Amino acid sequence: MALLKVKFNQKKRVKLAQGLWLMNWFSVFAGILVFSMGLFLKIELRKRSEVMDNSESHFVPNSLILMGILSCAFNGFAGKICYDSLDPAKFVKWKPLLKPYLALCFLFNVLLFFVALICFLMRGSLESTLAQGLKNGMKFYRDTDTPGRCFMKKTIDMLQIEFKCCGNNGFKDWFEIQWISNRYLDFSSKEVKDRIKSNVDGRYLVDGVPFSCCNPSSPRPCIQYQVTNNSAHYSYDYQTEELNLWRRGCREALLHYYSSMMSSMGVVVLLVWLFEMSVMVGLRLLHTSLESIANPEDPECESEGWILENSLKDTFKSALENLKKIGKFNQVEADGEGAGEEGGKTPAITTVS
């Protein structure tokens, strides 16, 4: 029994073709939307590529861009088919192409659904990329005179100001690295010498943070140096007082920003996928209803359209049998080639005189 069998007359077929033509053009605009989202996400990721460890994060925007282009191409082609199906003479040239085209549409919708899922599942990969990238970026913060790294200080400062964050996981991350360049250290000072000697790696570590970690909304002037030294500041308790530094780490801030953006895009892509699936189902019904016309010379006669010629169970069994036949055919061919090679060899004959 055919799946979703529907009876059509000439009027219903015309309405279906016209409706599908309109839906295909809506799908073209949906493809443009998907393409635009991918382009926007790629630009946003490129803005902060210096604090990302690898290029894996660009898989999502690249996939969205590709799906957007394919959506425009597929739906533009389908729109032409639907338009020509109104004229039986024009539809004849598309008839042999419809089955392979529908197979490609099915594959496209599978890929589109996969891309939608990836938008929701990239959080873990993005988190590790940001954690390592920010860690490396903070190490290069002081290298304002090193070619290729001189921009890192500005990048980190602008990032912390824009996203209201400090450090990788928090402001204490700055205590573990030397973020002040040697160029601005007075090596004749006893304090500088003692700090460098007290460190195994010979780094100048301080319990301070860059100015960009300061929260301008705090009523107290920013305490960015000697953050953990209560005696260095009047009426100050490091353990109990609300510090006037951003509490949230930049990894968490960026992860929330990109994750929420990709989740929203994933929802949009899922909606586009549902719309594309409905277009594909409609195109299949149109295809089968036109193929099943009993008398092609009488376009006004009734016909039947369906999604699958048999039930899901029977279709699945048939597909498995076809796969087995292909497997057996390949095996027979391989055996035949092996026998041919053995037959081609002439046995060596030893004569004893």
Per-residue pLDDT tens digits for 283-298: 888 877 777 666 666 6
Does residue 353 have a pLDDT over 50? no
- The verdict on 133 and 277 lying in the same domain is yes
User: Mind listing the pLDDT tens digit for each residue in 122-148?
Assistant: 888 888 889 888 998 999 898 877 777
- Is residue 113 situated within a structural domain? yes
Mean pLDDT, residues 338-353: 52
- The verdict on 12 and 129 lying in the same domain is yes
Mean pLDDT, residues 75-94: 78
pLDDT over 70 percentage in the chain? 78
What range defines the domain where residue 186 resides?
A: 171-247
- The verdict on 115 and 235 lying in the same domain is no
User: Mind listing the pLDDT tens digit for each residue in 213-223?
Assistant: 998 888 888 88
Mean pLDDT, residues 339-351: 53
- The verdict on 129 and 8 lying in the same domain is yes
pTM of the complete model? 0.78
Please identify, among 203, 228, 247, the residue that sits at the C-terminal boundary of a domain.
Answer: 247
The DSSP string of 299-321 is TTS-EEE-SBSS-HHHHHHHHHH
What pLDDT, on the 0 to 100 scale, is given for residue 350? 47
Instruction: Supply the mean pLDDT for the chain.
Output: 82
Higher pLDDT, 297 or 190: 190
What kind and span of H or E run contains 112?
Answer: helix 95-121
Domain tally, the chain:
2
Higher pLDDT, 207 or 303: 207
- The verdict on 196 and 256 lying in the same domain is no
To 10 degrees, what angle do helices 250-291 and 123-139 make? 150
**How far is Cα 3 from Cα 5, in angstroms, rounded to an integer?**
6
* Contact indicator for 269, 111 with CB cutoff of 8 Å: no
- Is residue 319 situated within a structural domain? no
- The verdict on 111 and 51 lying in the same domain is yes
pLDDT band at 326 (very low <50, low <70, confident <90, very high): low
Mean pLDDT, residues 81-107: 79
CA angle, corner 225, sides to 222 and 227, nearest 5? 85
Please identify, among 247, 276, 296, the residue that sits at the C-terminal boundary of a domain.
Answer: 247
Please identify, among 287, 307, 327, the residue that sits at the C-terminal boundary of a domain.
Answer: 307
What pLDDT, on the 0 to 100 scale, is given for residue 298? 64
Does residue 230 have a pLDDT over 80? yes
What pLDDT, on the 0 to 100 scale, is given for residue 296? 62
pLDDT band at 256 (very low <50, low <70, confident <90, very high): very high
User: Mind listing the pLDDT tens digit for each residue in 31-78?
Assistant: 999 999 999 999 999 888 888 877 667 889 999 999 999 999 999 988
In residues, how long is the chain? 353
- Is residue 89 situated within a structural domain? yes
Among the listed residues 113, 106, 131, 149, the one whose alpha carbon sits nearest the alpha carbon of residue 279: 106
- The verdict on 38 and 124 lying in the same domain is yes
- Is residue 159 situated within a structural domain? no
- Is residue 335 situated within a structural domain? no
